[in-house]
Amino acid sequence: MSGRYDQLGRQLRKVRSALAKGDASATSLALRRATHLASDLVFEQVETDDVAAGIAELVTRHIVDATLAERLTRRFAVAEDREQAPAAAEIAEVGRDLDRLLRSLEHAAAMPELPFAALETIEAPVSESRAAVTISGRNVVIAGRGGEGLVFVDDRPIGRPFPMFAAPSSKAEIHRDPSGRTRIDWVSEGLTVELGADFASSEVRPLAT
């Protein structure tokens, strides 16, 4: 995958962070940048320089549905208005659509819509060891303490505690399934974490060999 996937995820995260701070200017800027990156990602998938035709091709490949395609086409065609910040409802709608497009392109299949809300700061529990990866603009952390591990997504715990002496320190390998599930493998430690398509559930198991 090109670096634009990570860049789009980071920009969408900046939108959510700016929303939490009530910074309209930063929110608007991050949303514009995310929109540009999203249209660039569409062009990476197709052999046309017409964004509407490109999105239509993604529909035929079952990567986006017709309803999302219509909204994206309209969004990409709208001229920028740098003088007026978008309303909260528009930010939420555009953010949801761009996040859904990102995940759909990553998984090469149409993904469900997920909430797009302000990224509130949450104080995570103290951990003795931790490993972190970014998935679709979300911070996924494996934190260990007292011989147990727990998975967090954006500082919110998901799943159940599992036995873990220390968090993995090797480079993670990320595998995305058309079902929307994401598998994170730490080969050296023999650990696999599988995230649900909604980022609200996780399954931890030994890495299959």
The two domains 3-107 and 129-206 share their CATH topology (first three levels equal) = no
Per-residue 3-state assignment (H helix, E strand, C coil) for 36-67: HHHHHHHHHHCCCCCHHHHHHHHHHCCCCCHH
Helix (H, G, I), strand (E, B) or coil at 14: helix
pLDDT at position 125 is 77
pTM over 0.75: yes
> Do the beta carbons of residue 146 and residue 109 sit within 8 Å?
no
Check the CA dihedral 149-115-136-125 and report its sign: negative
How many Cβ atoms from other residues are within 10 Å of residue 97's Cβ?
A: 22
Longest dimension (CA), the chain: 56
Task: Give every strand in the sheet of 129-135, ordered side by side.
Answer: 129-135, 138-145, 148-153, 156-163
Q: Class of 3-107 per CATH? A: mainly alpha
The b/e string for 111-136 (b: 16+ C-beta within 10 A; e otherwise) is beebebebbeeeebeebeebbebebb
Q: Class of 129-206 per CATH? A: mainly beta
Structure tokens at 136: 């679709």
HSE-up of 202 (CA within 13 Å, CB side)?
23
Please report, as a single letter, which amino acid is at residue 25: S
Domain residues of the chain, as ranges?
Answer: 3-107, 129-206
Any alpha helices (H) in the chain, and if so which ranges? Answer: 3-21, 24-45, 51-60, 66-77, 88-107
User: Rounded CA gap, 103 and 110, in Å?
Assistant: 8
Tell me the Ramachandran region of residue 208: left when phi exceeds 0, alpha when psi lies from -120 to 50, beta otherwise: beta
Beta strand 182-186 with 173-176 is: antiparallel
The tens-digit pLDDT sequence of the chain (209 residues) is 668 999 999 999 999 999 999 998 899 999 999 999 999 999 999 999 899 999 999 999 999 999 999 999 999 987 555 566 788 888 999 999 999 999 999 999 999 999 999 998 777 778 899 999 999 999 999 999 999 999 999 999 999 999 999 999 999 999 999 999 999 999 999 999 999 999 999 999 886 65
